[in-house]
Structure formats: C-alpha cells, structure tokens
C-alpha cells in the first residue's frame, strides 16, 4: 500500500473502551460525574456519540438535574442527538464498566489521547504554515511553541485543596524563614531595606522593575543577580534581549571590582585595576550565573531553556531585559494585547518553575510631561499595557533625581529612589539609594515609608 494512502487511513489516537467506561461510570455514580467534569472537556472525547452524551450530562449537571439513564436519554431526545442504539446503548454503557473505582485511570487514558490529537492538529497547522511561506521560520517556531505550551498548561490542572493543607505548606515556609539567619521567606537581593519590605524575592512572583531609558534598570537587575549568584550561590539566569553576554559580564566585573566601566572600554587601566578586575573575574566565574543573549526569543523558548537549566544545574531566579523588546508568537495588530499575552505567560512560567522572575520594563513619557513635583512614576505610566500592573506581584520604579538635565545640581547628584509602587502581599513605599554611575551600581542609603517621593 502506498505511503500516502496509508497516511490518509490513519485513525487519530483514541480509546473507545475508556470513553465508554467514563460515561458508564458517570451514569452509575454522581461522584464520578463530579470527577469527570473536573478533568475532562467535551473535545477530549473522540467519538461524536460520546461527545453528545457527555455534553448532555454536563448540561444536566449545570441545571441541577440528577444524571442517570432516563434523564440523559430525555436530554438527548430534546436536542435531537439520540444516536442509533438510543436507550439500549446507554444501558450497555453501564454494563461495560469494569469498576467505577478505576475512573481516574480511564480519565488519564482519554486525556492522554486527547492531548495527542491536539498535538497532531497543531503539527498539521505548523506544516501548513511552513508550506505557505507567509511567515519566516522564527515566527512559525515561536507560534508552534506557544500552541504546544498552551496544551501543556491546560493539561496541568491542580486539585482543590482544603485550607488545612494550605496552612501546613504555609507553616513550613514560615518555619524555613525562622530558621534562616536573615528571616527571609525569599531570596535576599543585596538591598537589605528592600528585602525587609519584600521579604526577599519569592518563588512564583513576577517582579516588574520599570523606569525611563537610561535610568539604570539593567544595572539594578545585575546588582541583584550579582548578589544572588555570588553571595548566595543561588543559580540565576539572565535573558538579555538588548545587550550581549560579554557586555553584561563586563558590567558585572566592573561593579564587583569597583572599577570605572569607561576604563575597560578605553583600555586605560593600571596594574591595580587589572588585578582587581582579575579577582572579580575569579569570584564571578565560580558563581552559578547563566546568560542567554538571544536577541529574539519567545516566552516558550525561555521556558524550555529554563526547564533544562533547572533540571541540570538548578535554578533560583530569572531576570529578563526587557519586556518591550520581546515579541509575541501570535500575530496581532494590537501591541497591548500582545504584551498582555506575554506578561500572563511569564506569570504562568514563574508559577510553573516556582522561581521569581524579574522583568524589566520601560515607562512611557507621561511622567516627563508632568511638572517637577509630580514627575515621579505612577502605575499608569507602565508602557503599552495595563496587564503589566495586573499580572505583576511586585512593581518597582527606579527614579534618579539627577536624570533630567534641568534638575542636575550638586545636591541632586547620585540621589535616587527605589519605589515599591505595588506589592500584592506587603507594604509599598520608597527606599532612598545612591546611583553610582562610575560603577553602574545602586546602593542603599535610607528608608522612607511614604507613598510619594519628596522633592
């Protein structure tokens, strides 16, 4: 038989017996109805007759009507979906169930076959995209990865847990914080006052660090990663869409060695600077810090690389520089919608990997149009999407008083603030810091617990 003919005759993955056993179990037990409706959808069934029966059961459940052979048969008759066999087939379903106790096993079989069919459909769409030639390879790869990621996320459903279990987990985390020397629930960043407010960076958090271009967002993120990886030995991953890996490494070496980064660009260094730079290089080389400088990368690709690193080396924190350079895999004319999809995916990624994600983001020019006293950033200044604020667990603004030429003076030089504008589970406020541009480094000075900076 020719290969093409054999391919056409292929039957999509399905398990007729498992589908029958699920429906039969639902007809026999209200408990089975509840369980099946939690884990399965109509499209998970392959056979049209089984889809109609499951849909009738779902409709009855939503209406508060008990599910049994009589009510299901009546519902199917009303909707004109009673297939050949009718009542006799429904009766036979209950006879085919080996044991309702095995329902979980039947659900896993049907769910697995459903996932395979979805993967086949996705693969066929990918093939069509490739043959059409309308998009480049990177776009198709990104879109394919996102579709496969959505299949994986939909299959990863969590069960409802009693508050007792949740409290037990919470007590374990609190106990760990009490055992730690610094009392941190999360990972200390090297900014003690900020850590006190945030209780460190915590797993599943999406932490947005925002500011105008040139405000020092990348430096601030690198300052944190340097401390987390070097002092805390926590595996850290940086996705840099703007700067190359060697540029980031140079910044971190200069910051650690406290050498003016301009000297490394000019090559005008003495023996003392070279020695300090060599020592910094030695210390950083031993730190579990990893860099990916792919200029174009999707959330799905980030997730795949992060998963691999976590499996092989461990992973404690991710930094992404920066959101506005990222591209969505799905074509859309609305950039805000595209950004919304990406921030939502990053939040899901943080939960799946159970690590904090530091996401750098630019602010709009809106703050610059306000007068000096109200020039400080606001959540509404987050560029391109209100979803950034919605998905973020923490939003941090960086504000330097000498950023604007008209504000520069000996009094404002180096003065800056870390502004915690949003924290889902904690206080907001401002921390006074100093910006040391020579070493591209932010350093804490004092803590101001207020809602707005004083000018």
Domains and CATH numbers, the chain: 11-134 (1.10.860.10), 185-448 (3.40.50.300)
Is the pLDDT reported for residue 1 higher than 50?
A: no
State how far the Cα of 340 lies from the Cα of 209, in Å rounded to an integer. Answer: 16
254-263 tens-digit pLDDT: 888 888 877 7
pLDDT for 446 equals 55
What does DSSP say about strands 394-400 and 206-211: parallel, antiparallel, or unpaired?
A: parallel
Question: With bands split at pLDDT 50, 70 and 90, how would you rate the model's confidence at 413?
Answer: confident
Q: Mind listing the pLDDT tens digit for each residue in 22-73?
A: 999 999 998 898 888 878 889 999 999 999 999 999 889 877 889 999 999 9
**First and final CA of the chain: distance in angstroms?**
82
Average pLDDT rounded to a whole number, residues 134-145: 80
The predicted structure's pLDDT at residue 251 = 87
Query: How many CA atoms lie within 13 Å of 25's alpha carbon, on the beta-carbon side?
Result: 24
What pLDDT is recorded for position 58? 87
DSSP structure class, residue 230: I
pLDDT at position 202 is: 92
Percent of the chain with pLDDT over 70: 84
Instruction: Report whether 378 contacts 367 (CB < 8 A).
Output: yes
Spatial separation of the C-alpha atoms in residues 331 and 333, rounded to whole Å: 7
Q: What is the mean pLDDT of residues 281-297?
A: 88
Give Dmax (Cα) for the chain: 92
The size of the chain, in residues, is 455
* DSSP for 158-208, written as a single string: PPP--HHHHHHHHHHHHHHHHHSTT--SSB--S-HHHHHHHTSB-TT-EEE
- Average pLDDT (302-315) is 86
pLDDT digits (tens, 9 = 90+) for 152-211: 766 656 565 666 666 676 666 666 666 665 556 789 999 999 999 998 999 999 999 998
pLDDT for 288 equals 93
Average pLDDT over residues 423-448: 83
The C-alpha atoms of residue 366 and residue 379 are separated, in whole angstroms, by 11
- With a cut of 80, say whether residue 313 has pLDDT above it: yes
Q: What is the pLDDT of residues 211-251, one digit of tens each?
A: 888 888 999 999 999 999 998 999 999 999 988 888 888 88
Per-residue pLDDT band at 441 (split at 50, 70, 90): confident
Helices (H) and strands (E) in the chain, counts: 18, 9
Q: Which residue has the higher pLDDT, 82 or 146?
A: 82
Average pLDDT over residues 66-90: 89
Beta strands at 441-448 and 429-436: parallel, antiparallel or unpaired: antiparallel
Average model confidence (pLDDT) across the chain: 83
Tokens of 140: 């198709």
Q: Which residues are catalytic?
A: 242
**Of 242, 267, 209, nearest to 399 (Cα)?**
209
């Amino acid at each position: 038989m020719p290969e093409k003919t054999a391919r056409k005759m292929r039957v999509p993955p399905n398990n007729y017996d498992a589908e029958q056993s699920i429906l039969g179990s639902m007809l026999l037990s209200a408990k089975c109805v509840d369980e099946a409706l939690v884990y399965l959808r109509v499209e998970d069934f392959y056979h049209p007759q089984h889809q109609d029966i499951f849909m009738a059961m779902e409709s009855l459940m939503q209406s508060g009507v008990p599910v049994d052979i009589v009510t299901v048969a009546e519902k199917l008759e009303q909707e004109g979906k009673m297939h050949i066999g009718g009542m006799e087939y429904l009766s036979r379903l209950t006879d085919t169930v080996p044991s309702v106790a095995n329902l979980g096993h039947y659900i896993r079989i049907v769910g697995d076959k459903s996932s395979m069919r979805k993967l086949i459909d996705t693969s066929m769409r990918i093939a069509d995209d490739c043959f059409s030639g309308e998009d480049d390879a990177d776009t198709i790869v990104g879109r394919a990865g996102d579709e496969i990621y959505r299949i994986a996320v939909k299959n990863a459903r969590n069960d409802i847990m009693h508050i007792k279990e949740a409290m037990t987990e919470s007590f374990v985390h609190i106990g760990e914080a009490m055992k730690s020397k610094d009392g941190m629930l999360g990972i200390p960043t090297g900014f003690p006052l900020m850590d006190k407010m945030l209780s460190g960076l915590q797993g599943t958090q999406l932490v947005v660090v925002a500011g105008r271009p040139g405000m020092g967002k990348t430096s601030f993120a690198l300052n944190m990663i340097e401390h987390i990886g070097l002092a805390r030995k926590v595996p850290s991953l940086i996705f840099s869409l703007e700067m190359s890996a060697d540029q980031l490494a140079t910044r971190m070496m200069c910051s650690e060695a406290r050498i003016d980064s301009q000297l490394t660009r000019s090559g005008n260094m003495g023996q003392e600077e070279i020695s300090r730079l060599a020592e910094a290089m030695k210390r950083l080389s031993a730190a579990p810090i990893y860099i990916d400088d792919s200029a174009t990368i999707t959330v799905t690709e980030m997730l795949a690389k992060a998963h691999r690193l976590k499996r092989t080396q461990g992973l404690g924190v991710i930094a992404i520089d920066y959101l506005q350079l990222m591209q969505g895999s799905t074509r859309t004319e609305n950039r805000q919608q595209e950004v919304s999809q990406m921030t939502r995916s990053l939040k899901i990624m943080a939960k799946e990997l159970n690590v904090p994600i530091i996401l750098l983001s630019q602010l709009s020019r809106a703050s610059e149009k306000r007068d000096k006293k109200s020039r400080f950033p606001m959540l509404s200044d987050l560029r391109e999407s209100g979803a950034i604020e919605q998905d973020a667990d923490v939003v941090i603004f960086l504000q330097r008083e000498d950023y604007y030429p008209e504000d520069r003076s000996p009094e404002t030089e180096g003065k800056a603030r870390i502004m915690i504008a949003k924290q889902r589970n904690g206080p907001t406020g401002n921390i006074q810091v100093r910006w040391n541009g020579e070493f591209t480094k932010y350093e804490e000075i004092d803590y101001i617990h207020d809602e707005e900076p004083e000018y």
